[in-house]
């Protein structure tokens, strides 16, 4: 299937919410990592999401360009072509665009979608994420509303974050912010929904102790009940409505905690750290096992069969794809591709 259109993506999200499963959203930084996600989704017979962050998009554009927007456009076009070769549905997202990067990342991508729609072409991305968590809640909501109006005009979903996901990701460190911001309140969730829901489709990354980075199970104190209470507050204040929730910073979460969030309306879970490790682990294994072949030691010539990048990149692709399959199983979406929708 090709990258889904807006109505197809809404159907994917509706079914996930009704059936209490979530789509894994995999951050990629290259065509190789994008291929690994597609392979994993196909193996798991699962639909899913490929996304790119500001740093990932800049890296993807290459050292000679270093443009977030150019990298983001190139990735979307590549995935759109390659996804059509696989039998699953794929949505495209951007991830964690902080206010200072709007002008160089998300806004140019929205503008490119507007240009393409005017020419009768598909949207570039299905959804964009604005991370205004460093702003006051009022300013965050106001800016999110401004962006959602523009996104909705092109049938783009806007993902927003309130509260703060702890730790560090893509060079953005939240350790200086108070721990109280790690937990979103029901009142905050209601305020966001009342403002954004009338403007267009949005997703909410509410925080419940999430932390970016690498942690062993039990080292991150999650409080999934925050999502339950927030959804109940939204339903009470807004005639039974609920938000589409996103789970950020899931490394180190137990399977029980993950499944609990699915019951509260989480339909998307971001995955980056674990797939980065799976990709790199295969390369490290290859290099350690073939040390004398990948290096020209003591004037020897090495072994081209083991230093050819294709040799170890195939292993990396498969290793990351295996981790993608595991994520699909954990989120209960394996075997549930909607096929032609």
For residue 145, pLDDT over 80 is answered with yes
**pTM for this entry:** 0.92
> Is 95 designated active site?
yes
Does CATH number 1.10.3720.10 belong to domain 6-330?
no
Give me Rg for the CA atoms of the chain: 20
Place of tokens 């595991």: 326
CA 9, 11, 14, 17 torsion-angle sign: negative
Residue in the block written with tokens 């993950």: 258
Which residue reads 């889904």 in tokens?
4
3-state secondary structure (DSSP) of residue 52: strand
- CA gap 93, 169 in Å, rounded: 17
Asked if 274 contacts 236 with a C-beta cutoff of 8 angstroms, the reply is no
Locate the domains of the chain by residue range.
6-330
Q: What is the pLDDT of residue 210?
A: 74
Give CA–CA dist 153/253, Å, rounded.
37
What pLDDT is stored for residue 177 in this prediction? 44
Q: Which of 191, 120, 132 is nearest to 158 (CA)?
A: 132
Q: What is the pLDDT of residue 209?
A: 83
- Could you tell me if 283 and 309 are in contact, meaning their C-beta atoms sit under 8 angstroms apart? no
DSSP bridge partners of 26:
50, 271
pLDDT tops 80 at residue 50: yes
**Residue pointed to by tokens 């950020």:** 248
- Which two three-digit tokens encode residue 184? 């979103």
- Please give the biggest Cα pair distance in the chain: 75
d(CA 264, CA 230): 9
Among candidate residues 18, 10, 8, 39, the one with its CA nearest the CA of residue 316 = 39
Q: Which of 58-62, 64-68, 113-117, 176-180 has the lowest mean pLDDT?
A: 176-180
Q: What is the pLDDT of residue 212?
A: 56
Distance (Å, whole) CA 130 – CA 158: 7
Active-site choice (14, 47, 95, 139): 95
Here the tokens at position 125 are 């991305």
pLDDT beyond 80 at 171: no
Which residue(s) pair with 140 in the sheet? none
Give Cα separations from 219 to 71, 172, 211, 222, 251 (angstroms): 35, 21, 10, 9, 10
Confidence (pLDDT) at 175: 44
Count of positions (residues) in the chain: 341
258-305 tens-digit pLDDT: 999 999 999 999 999 999 999 999 999 999 999 999 999 888 899 999
Strands of 96-215 (E only): list them. Answer: 127-130, 157-162, 168-169, 172-173, 202-206
* Three-class secondary structure of residue 119 per DSSP: coil
Structure-model confidence comparison of residues 184 and 213, the more confident one: 184
């Amino acid at each position: 299937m090709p990258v889904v259109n807006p109505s197809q993506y809404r159907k994917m999200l509706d079914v996930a919410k009704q059936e209490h499963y979530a789509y894994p959203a995999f951050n990629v930084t290259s065509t190789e990592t994008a291929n690994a996600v597609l392979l994993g989704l196909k193996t798991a017979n699962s639909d899913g999401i490929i996304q790119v962050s500001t740093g990932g998009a800049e890296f993807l554009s290459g050292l000679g360009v270093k443009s977030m927007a150019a990298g983001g456009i190139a990735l979307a076009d590549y995935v759109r072509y390659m996804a059509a070769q696989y039998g699953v549905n794929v949505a495209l997202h951007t991830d964690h665009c902080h206010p200072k990067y709007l002008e160089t990342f998300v806004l140019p991508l929205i503008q490119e979608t507007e240009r393409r729609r005017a020419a009768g072409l598909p949207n570039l991305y299905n959804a964009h994420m604005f991370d205004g968590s460093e702003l006051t809640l009022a300013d965050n909501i106001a800016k999110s509303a401004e962006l959602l109006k523009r996104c909705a005009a092109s049938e783009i979903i806007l993902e927003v974050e309130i509260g703060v996901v702890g730790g560090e990701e893509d060079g953005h460190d939240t350790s200086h912010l108070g721990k109280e911001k790690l937990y979103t309140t029901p009142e905050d969730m209601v305020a966001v929904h009342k403002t954004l829901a009338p403007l267009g489709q949005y997703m909410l990354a509410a925080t419940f102790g999430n932390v970016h980075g690498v942690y062993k199970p039990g080292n991150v104190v999650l409080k999934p009940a925050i999502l339950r209470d927030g959804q109940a507050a939204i339903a009470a204040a807004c005639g039974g409505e609920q938000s589409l929730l996103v789970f950020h910073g899931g490394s180190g979460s137990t399977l029980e905690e993950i499944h609990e969030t699915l019951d509260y309306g989480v339909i998307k879970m971001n995955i980056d750290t674990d797939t980065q490790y799976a990709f790199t682990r295969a390369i490290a294994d290859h290099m350690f096992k073939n040390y004398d072949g990948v290096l020209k030691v003591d004037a020897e010539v090495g072994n081209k069969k083991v230093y050819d990048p294709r040799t170890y990149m195939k292993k990396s692709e498969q290793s990351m794809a295996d981790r993608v399959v595991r994520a699909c199983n954990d989120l209960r979406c394996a075997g549930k591709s909607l096929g032609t929708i």
